[in-house]
Amino acid sequence: MKSKVTSKNENNFSPLVVEKKRVLVTGGAGFVGSNLIRKLLAKDYRVICLDNLFSARAEKIEQFRDNRGFEFIRHDITQPFELEVDQIYNLACPASPLYYQKNPIYTTKTSCLGALHVLANAQRTGAKVLQASTSEIYGSPQVHPQVEKYWGNVNPIGPRSCYNEGKRVAESLFFDYYREYGIAIKVVRIFNTYGPGMSANDGRVITNFILQALQQKDITVYGNGEQTRSFCYIDDLTDGLIMMMEEEEYPGPINLGNPDERTINSVARTIINLTNSPSKIRYLPLPENDPLSRRPDISLAEKVLKWRPKVSFAVGIKKTIDYFKKNYYGLGGE
């Protein structure tokens, strides 16, 4: 870790004062943000978490309250702000389809205005700034697996476009600031991520299925369940985010995800088996514009960052089931 070192050098007695790196995490009270903050604090960074708690919960950051390196600012990223920091992780945006479609205009504003505000802040302070982009920018992909140079197949006027197009505009802004002003940008495209700390009510497939299985309710598979996703365990993802931020040259975009692709039917069966649940699968209509397949090509991340996910689905999903048992049912977990 590079730190600024200043010496007061009064009478030659003052010790060296090591200034810790100051890191801003927007959307830091969310699932990815709170897990990232835990790692940054463990690395001895000073962390400011900026969040308006629109789709996040204050409980996720309670754990840091007594840490002197941590500060929480309740602020809406669609409004300008000024903060003196060395690095910015821009994670602010509702990310689950259920939440980002609740107030779609606000979702678009969060990505677009949020990007403008973090970039302005980076320009003023010289901070490095990482944009949490998404596999959704590939839309319903016609290239499989998805490589970074694929431009995507996105419906610009559908129910998912507030999120997809908002994130695409954010990428565009990041690269324009990079070309125009030489801002140190880092753009990562995050694929489906899961693990302890996910919100129980965000409507995502992993949380829905685990909770349904634990409650012995029907497992709601949308469509015929043969659509695919590739799930990355949260610790692998946060490692990748930090490695991208610490990398000195490559602006991105770079895919971060686990290429282990599975059908939604197989995810349902795995969760039913691991929870010993009597739940049955109930098939419901596929939501509009739901992508039929998704798998990251991560050769670029392997080459540039020497990163690849380490946690298998079998291990990660057990830890996630345990988390929900402990936190929602008092069932003890392992």
Minimum CB distance to ligand UDP smaller for 83 or for 154: 154
Q: What is the C-alpha to C-alpha distance for residues 248 and 251, in angstroms, rounded to an integer?
A: 9
Tokens of 243: 């490695």
User: By C-alpha distance, which of 91, 83, 92 is closest to 123?
Assistant: 83
Q: What is the C-alpha to C-alpha distance for residues 199 and 193, in angstroms, rounded to an integer?
A: 12
Q: Of the candidates 150, 222, 323, 328, which one interacts with ligand UDP according to CB under 6 A?
A: 222
Active site residue 163: yes
* Closest distance of CB 9 from ligand UDP, Å: 55
Q: Does 287 bind ligand UDP (CB under 6 A)?
A: yes
Q: Of the candidates 131, 193, 208, 275, which one interacts with ligand UDP according to CB under 6 A?
A: 208
Q: Which of residues 63-122 bind ligand UDP (CB under 6 A)?
A: 96-97
Give how many residues touch ligand UDP by CB under 6 A.
15
Q: Does 229 bind ligand UDP (CB under 6 A)?
A: yes
Q: Does 204 bind ligand UDP (CB under 6 A)?
A: yes
Q: Which of residues 248-267 bind ligand UDP (CB under 6 A)?
A: 264
Q: Does 295 bind ligand UDP (CB under 6 A)?
A: no
Q: Does 133 bind ligand UDP (CB under 6 A)?
A: no
* CB contact set of 14 (below 8 Å; sequence gap of 6+): 7, 8
* Closest distance of CB 179 from ligand UDP, Å: 30
* Closest distance of CB 280 from ligand UDP, Å: 14
* CB contact set of 95 (below 8 Å; sequence gap of 6+): 30, 31, 32, 55, 134, 163
- The per-residue DSSP string of 155-207 comes to -TTSTTHHHHHHHHHHHHHHHHHHHHH---EEEEEE--EE-TT--TTS--HHH
Give first-to-last CA distance, the chain, whole Å.
35
120, burial (CB in 10 Å: exposed 0-12, middle 13-18, buried 19+): middle
* Closest distance of CB 192 from ligand UDP, Å: 5
Site string for ligand UDP, 172-201 (x = CB under 6 A): --------------------x---------
Q: What is the C-alpha to C-alpha distance for residues 13 and 177, in angstroms, rounded to an integer?
A: 44
Q: Which one from 99, 163, 178, 194 is the annotated catalytic residue?
A: 163
Cis ω before 253 (30° cut-off from 0) = yes
Minimum CB distance to ligand UDP smaller for 204 or for 295: 204
* Closest distance of CB 267 from ligand UDP, Å: 8
* Closest distance of CB 263 from ligand UDP, Å: 10
Choose the binding region for ligand UDP from 114-122, 178-186, 221-229, 242-250 (rule: CB under 6 A). Answer: 221-229
Q: What is the C-alpha to C-alpha distance for residues 246 and 248, in angstroms, rounded to an integer?
A: 6
Q: Does 126 bind ligand UDP (CB under 6 A)?
A: no
Minimum CB distance to ligand UDP smaller for 80 or for 287: 287
Minimum CB distance to ligand UDP smaller for 263 or for 299: 263
Distances from the Cα of 307 to the Cα of 75, 79, 301, 302, 317, angstroms: 33, 35, 6, 5, 21
Give the HSE-up count for residue 200: Cα atoms under 13 Å, Cβ half-sphere.
14
Minimum CB distance to ligand UDP smaller for 90 or for 193: 193
With beta carbons less than 8 A apart as the criterion, state whether 236 and 311 touch.
yes
State whether residue 25 is helix, strand or coil: strand
The binding site for ligand UDP (CB under 6 A) comprises 96-97, 192, 204-205, 208, 220-222, 227, 229, 264, 286-287, 290
Residues with a catalytic annotation lie at 163
